[in-house]
Amino acid sequence: MGLKQEFLAALRAGTSYQGLMELVRVQQAQGMTPEIPIRNSKRFWLEYGFDKEVDDGPLQNNLEAVMQKVWYGSPV
């Protein structure tokens, strides 16, 4: 499974913010550059329509928290 698919599967499965961040850390330890999670999380945000509406559910909240961490360069 590719990095994008692995993260998306975890997100859809309801993985917690901490679990998603651990996945990002593992992927970065395997050589993924910081741009990949930034690009992927932005794509997921748009695909789920979160740019147009706020559902304030766990999927949106967890994705938003991960996005903030990776955008500001602090995935730890």
Digitized pLDDT (tens) for each residue of the chain, 76 residues in all: 677 788 889 988 999 999 999 998 888 888 888 788 888 888 888 988 888 887 778 889 999 998 888 888 765 5
In a domain, 49, yes or no: yes
The whole-model pTM stands at 0.80
Q: Kindly list the distances between the CA atom of residue 74 and the CA atoms of 2, 5, 67, in Å, as whole numbers in the listed order.
A: 23, 22, 10
Count the domains in the chain.
Answer: 1
Residue 76 lies in a domain: no
> What pLDDT is recorded for position 54?
78
Q: Is residue 28 part of a domain?
A: yes
pLDDT of residue 13: 93
